[in-house]
A and B are shown apart, each in its own frame.
Chain A
């Protein structure tokens, strides 16, 4: 099964900063794309789906480039509560293929 690659970080940013995460995937059969958030020793939780047209949910913006097999997540106005590991995930039905995650630490 093909892989999902992410910069592991950590990204250490102050509150209010804008931070961007990138991800590449190698399986061209990937059918849908997501960003999940995982807090330490907890289950992954869906943050947002990612579409080619780009989509935004509050402070979070996700983008997909199918031609480059590249996915991004932008977080604006970072909050302390955004500190977590962000997982890039592709769906090769029926399985979700996870990246190893990028760790974000937001400090005051």
Chain B
């Protein structure tokens, strides 16, 4: 089965630093997403991205967050000035289309630790 790949698997950073989390979606997929999961909490939607623009974002996705598809294969999540509460597992996902029963493929996640 095709895979979404995420790098790095673990990222440790100091509070206030910028981090970029990277994802390579499945090659023929057109819709891309970021989700996060704080330890012991539920998986939360951050943002969806289609046709080089954000299609929807949650209230979590504030001005500190941005997404980009810089080169047609990578999909990145940037956190401009990290806070302690940004510590979480960040999952990238992709799908061929956005439809009610379309399957999302999740990457294995990047564990972000902000110290």
Interface string of A1-26 (1 = CB under 8 A from B): 10000000000000000000000000
Indicate whether A80 reaches chain B with its CB closer than 8 angstroms.
no
Are A93 and B99 within 8 A (Cβ)? yes
Contact B56–A95 (Cβ < 8 Å): yes
Contact B100 A97 (CB under 8 A): no
Interface size on A, residues (CB 8 A): 22
Do the beta carbons of B100 and A96 come within 8 Å of each other? no
How distant is the Cα of A100 from the Cα of B40 in the complex, in angstroms?
A: 8
Write the nearest CB–CB distance from A61 to chain B, whole angstroms.
18
Contacts A93-B100, A94-B56, A95-B56; is A43 near B109 (CB within 8 Å)?
A: yes
Q: How many A-B residue pairs have CB under 8 A?
A: 55
A83 to B33, CA, bound (A): 28
B89 at the interface (CB under 8 A from A): yes
* A62 interface residue (CB < 8 Å to B): no
Q: Please, which residues of chain A bring their CB within 8 A of the CB of B111?
A: 41
Give complex CA distance A96, B48 in Å.
Answer: 10
Nearest A-chain residue to B42, judged by Cβ:
A100
Bitwise interface map of A from 89 to 108 toward B, beta carbon under 8 Å scored 1, else 0: 00101111111110000000
Q: Is the CB of B43 within 8 A of A94?
A: no
Q: Are the CB atoms of A44 and B98 closer together than 8 Å?
A: no
